[in-house]
Structure 1
Amino acid sequence: MLETFGFSHYESKVYETLAASESPMDATMIVKHSGVPKAKIYEVLTRLVDKGLVLDSVSDKKKWYTALPLNSLIDKLTSQFQHDVERLKTSLASKQVRDDRIWNLKVDSSIRAESKHLIQRAVKSIRISAWNDDFAGFIPLLEEKEREGVEVEALVVGEIQTNLKRVHVLIPSDEHEGLERFQLIVADQEEIMFAGEEDGNWQAIQTRAQPFVKFFADFFFHDVALARITQKHYDLLFGDEEIRRMLIRLRY
């Protein structure tokens, strides 16, 4: 019976013999009824005691043995199986190889669909930059993720209405003629998607390669800082011709 669960043939025979007996047995009795060789019986009994399948006791200068009740054995094996399954999951998860390839994706509808899936997969944090009309399509999903406890921070080009807690807004000036449409999503600091529009067509890259993830995460915070500083000190910065030209040459 126990061989199915990885126990030896002798261990199974000894346990079955003890479980079938209404009274405790000594080693001699177990040998007689189990068929396990006398030379092996104490070794087998010691293993079963150490594994918690057999109880032992000394009485009248003799050692007696009895089996762990069947219900208790079932609970033990079930618990051990569940524990082993969790260890297997942890072991396999820790050995998963990161996909560091850079994937190219085209077509607006495909990029938008994969962007939503990327947001849905996030469990810790989401950083997203986009123009307001593109960003509007993500608002319900982002607000849901924020309610779930995911940290969401956004940078939006143009006015936007949302209940998200951390939204930075950039209102481009008339001089930002070269500002092209773009979209950036950084999920859990583990995966990014960056998309841009060129000649009316959208193209995107998606990757988990950490050098790229770190670069684009820094890129996001650079843009947020630049937008906040410009917004707070707009008159001062754009009032200085040299600084104004420098800012216009930057992304924003």
Structure 2
Amino acid sequence: MLETFGFSYYESKVYETLAASDAPMDAAMVVKHSGVPKAKIYEVLSRLVDKGLVLDSVSDKKKWYTALPLNSLVDKLTAQFQQNVETLKSSLASKKVRDDRIWNLKIASSIQAQSMQLIRHAARSIRISAWNDDFLTYLPLLEEREREGIEVEALVVGKLESQLSRVHEMLPAEEHEGLERYLLIVADQEEIIFAGEEDGDWQAIQTRAQPFVKFFADFFYHDVALARITQKHYDLLLGDEEVRQMLIRLRY
């Protein structure tokens, strides 16, 4: 009977023998009625005691054994099964294979749709960087997500009016006219979309590969730091032509 639940043949025979008896049995009696070899009986009984299927007691200098009642055994096996199911679920959930592939995406409308989905499904945080007129497409949804408790931080190229609490502005210099636009979204520090415009056409990559996610998250904060430093020390930094040209190369 117990073999169905992963117990050995001998363990099953011993339990069935004890369960069928109206009185406790000693090892010799178990051997006689179960057919389990005498050389194995103490080992089998010990395993069943350790597993909680058999109770043992010492009386009159002799060890006696009795089976866990059937109803209790059913409850025990049911609870153990449920625990094993939960352990399995937890194990499988923690071992999900991350999709580390890098997906290529073209067409501005498709990139925009995927970006919206990434923003919509973020569970904890959103980092987004874009030029101000492109940023307006995502602004209502970003404000909604922030109201829902998602941490939103934005870096905008150009001026922007918004209700977002953490917006950094990077103001282009005259030398930046005609430079290609870009869009960066980092969701939950787990997935990114990076898109760029070249000759009027948009292309993007989307990935969960952690080296890329970390690189672009660092890229975002690099630009945030650069924007804040430049704003704070604008006259000092941009008054030096050599520093000015260096900042232009760093920022774009």
Same fold flag (TM > 0.5): yes
Pick closer, same or farther for the CA change 1:71–1:199 going to 2, 3 Å.
farther
How many Å apart are 1:119 and its aligned residue? 4.2
Say which SS state the counterpart of residue 176 (structure 2) adopts: coil
Say which SS state the counterpart of residue 202 (structure 1) adopts: strand
Pick closer, same or farther for the CA change 1:212–1:14 going to 2, 3 Å.
same
Q: Deviations over 1:19-41 (max 9, x none)?
A: 34343222233334434344433
Contact kept, 8 Å, 2:119 with 2:142, in 1: the verdict is no
Pick closer, same or farther for the CA change 1:116–1:200 going to 2, 3 Å.
same
Within 5 Å, give how 1:1-252 maps onto structure 2: 1-89=1-89, 92=92, 98-119=98-119, 122-123=122-123, 125-131=125-131, 132-140=135-143, 142-143=145-146, 147=149, 151-157=151-157, 158-163=159-164, 165-252=165-252
Contact kept, 8 Å, 1:31 with 1:41, in 2: the verdict is yes
- Equivalent residue letter for 2:136: D
Contact kept, 8 Å, 1:159 with 1:171, in 2: the verdict is no
Partners of 1:35 and 1:72 in 2: how far apart?
A: 25
Partners of 1:178 and 1:78 in 2: how far apart?
A: 69
99-108 vs 119-128, which moves further: 119-128
51-60 vs 182-191, which moves further: 182-191
- TM-score normalised by length of structure 1: 0.79
Which sections of structure 2, spanning at least 5 residues, go unmatched? none
- Equivalent residue letter for 1:139: L
RMSD of Structure 2 on Structure 1 (CA): 3.1
Say which SS state the counterpart of residue 23 (structure 2) adopts: coil
How many Å apart are 1:159 and its aligned residue? 0.5
Contact kept, 8 Å, 1:56 with 1:66, in 2: the verdict is yes
Say which SS state the counterpart of residue 222 (structure 2) adopts: helix
Partners of 1:251 and 1:93 in 2: how far apart?
A: 41
Contact kept, 8 Å, 1:135 with 1:156, in 2: the verdict is no
Pick closer, same or farther for the CA change 1:18–1:121 going to 2, 3 Å.
farther
- TM-score normalised by length of structure 2: 0.79
Pick closer, same or farther for the CA change 1:26–1:99 going to 2, 3 Å.
same
39-48 vs 165-174, which moves further: 165-174
Count of matched residue positions in the alignment of Structure 1 and Structure 2:
248
Partners of 1:35 and 1:58 in 2: how far apart?
A: 23
Partners of 2:75 and 2:114 in 1: how far apart?
A: 45
Pick closer, same or farther for the CA change 1:211–1:73 going to 2, 3 Å.
same
Which sections of structure 1, spanning at least 5 residues, go unmatched? none
